[in-house]
Structure 1
Amino acid sequence: MHRFPRTSRPTAQASALACAITSVLFATASQAQAPAVDLCAGLVTDKAAHPQTSAPRPAKGVPFKDPVFGTKVTRISDVRADFGSGVAKPMYATIPAWNIDESRLVLFVKDKGHALFDGRTYEFLGMLKVQPSDIEQLYWDPVDPDVLWYNYSWEMGGRSMRQLTRYQVSSGQKTVVYDYPNAGKPRAFNVDNGGDPQYPSWDMKLWGVRVEMPKGSEKFSFSLPDKVEGARVFNDGPTPQACPSGRCMWAPEKNGSRVVDPKTLETVRKLRLWGYEHGNMGMNAAGQDFFAAVQFDSKPAGTLIVENLQTGEIKPIISTANGYPYPPTSTHISAVALRAPGWVAVSAVGKPEGRRPLDQEVLLANVDTGKVCRIAHHHSSGKDGKFGYWAEPHVTISPSGTRAIFASDWENGDAVDTYVVELPAYKPAAAKH
């Protein structure tokens, strides 16, 4: 699948471990309980055509009411004026943009790096001095709102370094949590599944790791706080990724996917959904893991199909089976509502005119109840516009589920900027945990 370009990184400064690693499992923590309110309350929940209306690009920082769906939307960046770049966007739909209490927000600015914003006022606060091995793979801590995690890699003159790094946002302090042992001469180091990157387990204890080698790649699991590597597998296949609960791992395969044992990387259960389609793992209100994805050619087909990783149950949520159109192109899923399990956000490009249901839309859905609401038009051309892949909306849900963030070239304009949808349930003070 199409990925952002990778860049070379300078050497990181190693330092002593400054903070104990929190071991809170979100399936049982109070902040993981689904909000009592219905996040779709008062929003459009039908399946009728609601055509997108053409409009000039909104001014930065001036909230506007989506003329079709009635939600509050704010353009939070002016990348040309503020950064001299052409693109400012969320890292990816599967990677949280906000920290856990939603007080801070990270965007990627092309040719500049990762930019930090106030998570509530959207004020730019500065550039982060982080060095992730891939620009999409920078992870907010699930408990501490002042901490980011990333894997770092460097190679020069036959020397190489691969480190798991903890970054304190307020001070800029970098702490090397683990030095991964060398295995031959790796040319790159990444944490992804060969397709969409995934957030680690929701307690940040279980990771899936891939080290690319000259003739293939080596995969293994890695667990904290004991710093133990699981069995190593050398092949060209995808990297098993940690389930949100930390009880399993998941990997895509041809015409399906599978649940994997975290220690042995052996297959525990075959699954039906095609794992190579755009999708994201999440957790439902009962604390069970799921994979939510768009499915074009499998049965059932749909814009949002969900498979329970513990039971194998499949639920069509936004599907041709329950009256929705065939999935639009460039559909992405975000299930990283760490404090609102069961809620996911969806963005789809489809036809740029946005006349058909789902085309050019941002949606919210609950995998437990099956409720779906349509929350905004994103006005982005996606891969068909002048910015190509960079203009895909890549909607990302907030930890509380009450906001969604997306990128847009705004009808094939001269820049890709970032927009936030605030749902009626959003209350800035209530975003704290």
Structure 2
Amino acid sequence: MATSTTHKRTYAIAGSLSLFWTIMVAVLMAGPALVAAEVKTDLGVYPEPSLQPLPQAGAKITDPVFGTRILRVTDASDGNSGAGTLYSYYPTFNKDNSYIAVRETLGYSRAKFFRFDPVNFTASGGFVLSSPPAGLQEYYLMWSGLYPNVTFGVGGHNIWQINVATQQSTLIKDLSSQGVGGYLTQMSKSLDDDVFAASIVNSGGTEAGFVVYKRSTNSVLLRRLASNVNEVQVDKSGDYLIVVYNDGSDDIYDLTATPPRLIAHLTGSNGFFHHDCGVGTVFTAAAGNALGYRRLANPTAIQLMVPGYWSYATQQDHFSMLADNEQWAVASRYSSSGGPVLRPFDNEIVKIATDGTDRVQRIAHHRSVAVNNNYNAQPKASVSRDGNFIAFTSNWGNPNGRTDMYIVQISASPTADIRPPATPVNLRIY
């Protein structure tokens, strides 16, 4: 939780009382929005209490354990049969929090865009793309890192740029010559919208490799065919590529080399599945019931976080490093069998300091029950660029019920204030 330095002053009694009542009246008139929850930072176990009544879309509730406010963004009123985040490392929030993207099943799975008001904590005016490019994977769109109204996606072998305000689409690149008869999928990109990567799918529907394209030089940086690819991700800088394979091994490429150079092939305890990238960094699970943070330039050197507290006996998780402040990363834990809280952080959304100091911010219980590791019910929490909001998917305690998207409002990440207090001026002591 953010802290501030208070300069103490001594006032005359009459003036102090006047100031006190002025402040109290202002607080009472403003209502609960000014009352900040005390973020929990311990390593204890917090069971889930009884479910609160589920509000309709647009309504807010307060997490009874962690004190944070939660906004329900979607329900069935627009005819969708389910909704949630696009994914933990696919941004829900655009650059300035003026739009959010929701994955809704409206005939088919696609993005629905809402105007978001971060000050009043509201979402409104949902709409879908009226004329998306042919074959566009609308459930895998990535907000521009530079422009609030722009998002990117793939359709067939094409990379598209789409302005959601004007609904105009621009072809960035046709990569048909790099395919093997199918299409591209699971696109990722650098924060400056310059380097793009995607998996190559063959005509039989099987992932058969990957391709990396650099927009500023109009060049294919890297293309490999491989039968075991699970997903690929470009880091925020566009300097590195992570290739995740189905056996839990990973390849790390340096894209700045000519040609791109394989830095490491990670296996065993060095390998990983769920992850997210920062600027030249990656956040993953790690051996020893811990989380891991590492530099992609040296990916076998792992900074352990909260060792001994991050059990994978019954829980799995997704990671998000979409915030600009990479001193903190987000994890959303869930039971793969729909089970209850048994250990610290179970069934929680939590922020973890990436510097190895074991600091945490406990944000909310997501209340989603993922029986049989149901992918649709996994929370897949996605943090905003400013770190003040986290979107997540939840079926709200009903394993057979619909999923919807919720947003939890949190305070800004704490950062050390090393500035000395200013010298008091006009100080009078009575």
TM-score bucket of the superposed structures, by smaller chain = 0.7 to 0.9
Check the 8 A contact 1:220/1:265 in 2, yes or no: no
Task: Please say if 1:175 is aligned against 2:170.
Answer: yes
- Among candidates 328, 333, 343, match of residue 319 of structure 2: 333
Task: Please say if 1:245 is aligned against 2:237.
Answer: yes
- Among candidates 147, 151, 163, match of residue 148 of structure 1: 151
Task: Please say if 1:316 is aligned against 2:304.
Answer: yes
Q: CA deviation at 1:308?
A: 1.8
Check the 8 A contact 1:328/1:348 in 2, yes or no: no
Task: Please say if 1:294 is aligned against 2:280.
Answer: no
SS in 1 for 2:106: coil
SS in 1 for 2:212: strand
SS in 2 for 1:182: helix
Residue deviations 1:24-73 (CA, integer Å, cap 9, x gap):
xxxxxxxxxxx998xx9941111111111012343132222211111111
Q: TM-score normalized by structure 2?
A: 0.76
Partner of 1:232: 223
**What CA distance in whole angstroms lies between the structure 2 residues aligned with 1:236 and 1:310?**
26
Residue deviations 1:76-96 (CA, integer Å, cap 9, x gap):
211x22x22331101001100
Letter in 2 for 1:405: A
In 2 relative to 1, CA 149–349 (structure 1 residues): closer, same or farther, beyond 3 Å? same
In 2 relative to 1, CA 269–414 (structure 1 residues): closer, same or farther, beyond 3 Å? closer
Q: Which has the larger displacement, 246-255 or 68-77?
A: 246-255
Q: CA deviation at 1:256?
A: 4.0
Q: TM-score normalized by structure 1?
A: 0.75
Task: Please say if 1:59 is aligned against 2:59.
Answer: no
Partner of 1:50: 46
- Among candidates 163, 169, 177, match of residue 158 of structure 2: 163
Residue deviations 1:270-294 (CA, integer Å, cap 9, x gap):
44665442111123xxxxx222123
Partner of 2:124: 123
Q: How does 1:73-112 map to 2 (within 5 A)?
A: 73-78=70-75, 80-81=76-77, 83-112=78-107
Percent identity (aligned): 22
**What CA distance in whole angstroms lies between the structure 2 residues aligned with 1:41 and 1:65?**
10
- Count of aligned pairs: 360
**What CA distance in whole angstroms lies between the structure 1 residues aligned with 2:66 and 2:401?**
26
**What CA distance in whole angstroms lies between the structure 2 residues aligned with 1:183 and 1:326?**
39
SS in 1 for 2:375: helix
Check the 8 A contact 2:320/2:331 in 1, yes or no: yes
Check the 8 A contact 1:383/1:390 in 2, yes or no: no
In 2 relative to 1, CA 47–65 (structure 1 residues): closer, same or farther, beyond 3 Å? same
* Higher relative contact order, chain-length normalized (CA < 8 Å, sep 6+): 1
Q: How does 1:371-386 map to 2 (within 5 A)?
A: 371-384=359-372
Q: Which has the larger displacement, 357-366 or 238-247?
A: 238-247
Which sections of structure 1, spanning at least 5 residues, go unmatched? 1-34, 154-161, 193-198, 284-288, 427-433
In 2 relative to 1, CA 276–383 (structure 1 residues): closer, same or farther, beyond 3 Å? farther
- Among candidates 177, 201, 204, match of residue 212 of structure 1: 201
Q: Which has the larger displacement, 125-134 or 102-111?
A: 125-134
Which sections of structure 2, spanning at least 5 residues, go unmatched? 5-35, 414-430
Residue deviations 1:103-134 (CA, integer Å, cap 9, x gap):
10010111342111122221133112445654
**What CA distance in whole angstroms lies between the structure 2 residues aligned with 1:268 and 1:324?**
28
**What CA distance in whole angstroms lies between the structure 2 residues aligned with 1:149 and 1:101?**
16
**What CA distance in whole angstroms lies between the structure 1 residues aligned with 2:342 and 2:248?**
32
Task: Please say if 1:408 is aligned against 2:403.
Answer: no
Letter in 2 for 1:415: R
Q: Which has the larger displacement, 135-144 or 124-133?
A: 124-133
SS in 2 for 1:390: helix
Q: CA deviation at 1:310?
A: 2.2
Check the 8 A contact 1:240/1:260 in 2, yes or no: no
The structure with the larger Rg is 2
Check the 8 A contact 1:208/1:220 in 2, yes or no: yes
Q: Which has the larger displacement, 201-210 or 399-408?
A: 201-210
In 2 relative to 1, CA 265–366 (structure 1 residues): closer, same or farther, beyond 3 Å? same
- Among candidates 367, 385, 391, match of residue 377 of structure 2: 391
**What CA distance in whole angstroms lies between the structure 1 residues aligned with 2:333 and 2:378?**
9
Residue deviations 1:154-188 (CA, integer Å, cap 9, x gap):
xxxxxxxx211110111100111212243575122
**What CA distance in whole angstroms lies between the structure 1 residues aligned with 2:200 and 2:251?**
21
**What CA distance in whole angstroms lies between the structure 1 residues aligned with 2:49 and 2:276?**
30
Residue deviations 1:245-270 (CA, integer Å, cap 9, x gap):
12222223555433213253441234
Check the 8 A contact 2:213/2:222 in 1, yes or no: no
Letter in 1 for 2:380: H
Q: CA deviation at 1:326?
A: 4.0
SS in 2 for 1:333: strand
